[in-house]
Amino acid sequence: MTIDRAQIWTGPVNEAALGVSPATTVGLYDTTLRDGEQTVGVVLSPEDKLEIARALSDAGIDRIEAGFPRVSDEDWRAVELVARAGLRAEVWGFSRAVAADVEALVEIGVGASVIESPISDGKLDALGVDRETMLGRIAKAVRFAVDNGIRVCFFGVDSSRADPGFFARAYATAVEAGAAEIAVVDTLGIASPEAAALLVGRARDAVGPDVPIHWHGHDDFGLATAAAVAAVRAGATWVQGTVNGMGERAGNADLIEVALALEALYGITTQLDLSRARALSRLVQDRAVTPLPPWKPVTGDTLFTRESGAVAAQFHDPPAIEPYSSEVVGAGRGIVLGKKSGIDSVRIKADELGLDVPEERRPAILAAVKTLGTTKRGLVTDDEFRELIAKGG
């Protein structure tokens, strides 16, 4: 959804560099319940997945990949629960280019699905399958799914490392067999933003102008958000990713980060209600038992929390110290105390807690705060601050 531009404080540099962005809305396809659960050690119960799916739908995510039902009985039940929950978001399944996988989706009643197949020579060699055989499998699986009423997005695994000629043949084969959409897949997160744009262009050349293109990228080089944005600017109309960037190895593109970057920096809208971003992030953290680093973009705990005294001196003027309003992502602002605090930190915290600390006492209180923060190698709590004031600093 469109954000209030008055709450974005990035200055004119992006507009100067980018010019006018296309007036388009990009769809967000969430795969937290499938690809996100592939994070090492994470297990989401069917009930967890249903709760997360409801939150995703309520927050404006367009499509939710409910999972791969043939992985286990638990996954089968999770897909059933999500598919029958009556969500606003479209519910999609996941399938390999295998008839039994598609049959499972038909039995559950999922009306749309990704169908995956590796298309890089490295993956094909590892599986012992030649190119022509794989093209036959792709065509057969897509045709079977379409004949059974399933809308298909063909998902070319490791397409970022595929031979360009076979890349084009694989996607063209899938579309000829009935795939309505395609996903360009950077399985190992190796694509630079420029390469992501190149790959989307190649895909467009292969399938024509009317087939929607997804971008699915991983973060092994820390470029997942940048690559997703580049893919969109090159013509992708869907971005696949997860909440908090969960996933194998370095994880997937974080859909919340992508949405904020698209809207705030590029003027390209999504349907995500960013004011729900942090609540959604916290839910996934809690259910997956995977806390985030506090400095994580958009959803980190300390993004709008200030310890530095130099920054606290400007705390009254958010645009001076923050690139966008905390309200955009449903966050609060605050001052914490510790080794790096300053006089203004003491004043602001005292006012926040309703404590009377005369100006002449603040230097002594600040010294005590710095000493305690250094000694404990951490922050001074509100109760500790009260005790320091009671003791006279």
pLDDT at 369: 93
The predicted structure's pLDDT at residue 134: 97
- Identity of the amino acid at 319: P
Instruction: Using DSSP, state whether 373 is helix, strand or coil.
Output: helix
What per-residue confidence (pLDDT) applies to 98? 93
**Would you say residue 40 has pLDDT above 80?**
yes
Determine which of 48-57, 233-242, 304-313 has the lowest per-residue pLDDT on average: 304-313
pLDDT for 234 equals: 95
Helix (H) or strand (E) holding 385: helix 382-390
Task: Give pLDDT, residue 295.
Answer: 95
Taking only the tens place, the pLDDT of each residue in 273-316 is: 999 999 999 999 999 999 999 999 999 999 999 999 999 999 99
What does the alpha-carbon distance between residue 260 and residue 80 come to, in Å, rounded to a whole number? 31
Whether the per-residue pLDDT at 355 is higher than 80: the answer is yes
Mean pLDDT of 253-274: 96
Q: Half-sphere exposure of 390 toward its Cβ, with a 13 Å CA cutoff?
A: 6
Average pLDDT for 313-320: 94
What's the pLDDT score for residue 19? Answer: 79
pLDDT tens readout for residues 77-104: 999 999 999 999 999 999 999 999 999 9
Name residue, tokens 């744009």.
197
pLDDT tops 80 at residue 180: yes
Taking residues 55-75, report their average pLDDT.
97
Residue 182: DSSP 8-state: E
Residue 393 has pLDDT above 80, yes or no: no
Over the chain, what is the mean pLDDT? Answer: 95
In order, the DSSP letters of 247-313 are SSTT-B-BHHHHHHIIIIIH--B-S--GGGHHHHHHHHHHHHT-PPPTT-TTT-TTTTEE--HHHHT
Show the domains of the chain with their CATH numbers: 5-288 (3.20.20.70), 305-390 (no CATH)
* Residue 270 confidence (pLDDT) above 80: yes
Angle at 77 between CA 71 and CA 80, to 5 degrees: 110
Examine the pLDDT at 247 and tell me if it is beyond 80.
yes
pLDDT for position 294? 95
pLDDT in tens, 101-122: 999 999 999 999 999 999 999 9
pLDDT of residue 22: 66
DSSP state of 221: T
Sequence-ordered list of residues with C-beta below 8 angstroms from that of 285, at least 6 positions apart, any chain: 244, 291, 292
Q: Report the pLDDT value the prediction gives residue 75, as an integer from 0 to 100.
A: 96
Which residues are bridge partners to 334 per DSSP? 305
Question: With 80 as the cut, is the pLDDT of residue 258 above it?
Answer: yes
Question: Can you list the positions of beta strands (E) in the chain?
Answer: 27-30, 63-67, 90-96, 112-118, 151-157, 181-186, 213-217, 238-241, 305-306, 334-335
Identify whether the C-beta of residue 102 lies closer than 8 Å to the C-beta of residue 148: yes
Cβ neighbour number for residue 130 with a 10 Å cutoff = 12
| 225 neighbors 261 (Cβ within 8 angstroms) | yes
Task: Give residue 41's pLDDT.
Answer: 95
At 29, phi and psi to the nearest 5?
-115, 110
